[in-house]
Copies of this chain bind each other. A is one copy, B any other.
């Protein structure tokens, strides 16, 4: 195999596939990037067997062939190369020579035929949306998935389409995050659970531009995201996702509207008085004169803050894990947010008028 490409193009393509290279694996070949130049285009592929990424590389093929190169070493070499055209040449013994200007690097590759190909997926009936929208949808929900996989379904996000609506749902047993959007065109009804890691890798790869599109294809067990020159294929998580709609409610006895920035400042100060080892509730006291936020830790001290709110309904005193509130405030865009409460034992809902986003957070008990 002999291929030529600009260093910057090679770097870009390495970055794209890199997140599919597993951090730890007993299968050495998975630590490699497959360079496939057997047909007319140069393709880089990496996979951890759950998730695979394939991307086209702008360059020339002087001699067809394929090779696997250690992903980290290949990436490091590319970073250090002069900014110029790079030639990658391999022989039958997998000796690989990478040349750029007067620099010549010799490394040993692995047999490209050992590499597991990505599953081939029929590309029919896609859901098409902008990369910007999908990126936002992921960002605004993914923080609510469970970090440990005691319940596998909680480590993924539900993606659901119905007519021209799409929504993503994440939950971890203490909270739910829901983001709904409109699609430009109607799509078939889908209801799948996508692994959290797939979505966070996808987030890094997508351009975030409104005009760049992503087409999403589904099979029974897999999902394929197709962007300009790049595809991401992932297994789905099997099982019946939670019935979340029955957990939602529009009833409330207290409703407050508050400045996101002010609440964010206050909650971030409160976070100083809570830690992994000593979880302390943030107690909100909502009255006509405003909202008081108070947290106290026997070891560290206490904080009390008063912030202005617009209130409807009853007074209320309710406790939360401040981290859960902070996570929501970090991703909501609007400067004003509205929170709905029923009582001190029921979840609160942070949502906008159109319910384009809904965040449910369970309260925690506290001693006054």
Contacts and interface: CB of A to CB of B under 8 A. Distances in A.
A304 B104 contact: yes
A77 B295 CA distance: 14
Given A76-B272, A102-B305, A107 B300 contact: yes
Nearest to A76: B272
Nearest to A270: B80
Contact of A304 (B103, B269, B272): B103
Contacts of A301: 73, 105-108
Contacts of A76: 272
A81 interface: yes
A272 B82 contact: no
Contacts of A77: 269, 272
Contact of A272 (B73, B108, B305): B73
B105 A303 contact: yes
B269 A103 contact: yes
A301 B106 CA distance: 5
A269 B80 contact: yes
Number of copies: 2
A307 interface: yes
Interface residues of A, number: 28
Interface in A56-111: 73, 76-77, 80-82, 102-108
A266 interface: yes
Nearest to A302: B106
Nearest to A296: B106
A80 B268 contact: yes
A352 interface: no
Nearest to A72: B272
Contacts of A81: 269
A164 to B, nearest CB: 43
A163 B269 CA distance: 54
Contacts of A307: 102
Interface in A175-224: none
A117 interface: no
B269 A104 contact: no
A50 interface: no
A292 to B, nearest CB: 9
A306 interface: yes
A276 to B, nearest CB: 15
Nearest to A292: B102
A329 to B, nearest CB: 14
A173 interface: no
A266 B103 contact: yes
B73 A105 contact: no
A107 B302 CA distance: 7
B103 A305 contact: yes
B302 A80 contact: no
A82 B262 CA distance: 9
Nearest to A308: B102
A119 interface: no
Most buried by B among A76, A103, A104, A107: A103
Interface of A: 73, 76-77, 80-82, 102-108, 265-266, 268-269, 271-272, 296, 300-307
Pairs of residues from A and B, 10 with the lowest C-beta to C-beta distance, nearest first? A107-B301, A80-B269, A102-B306, A106-B302, A104-B304, A105-B303, A103-B305, A106-B301, A76-B272, A80-B268
Given A80-B268, A105-B301, 14 more contacts: A76-B272, A80-B271, A82-B265, A102-B306, A103-B266, A103-B269, A103-B303, A104-B304, A105-B303, A106-B296, A106-B303, A106-B304, A107-B300, A108-B301
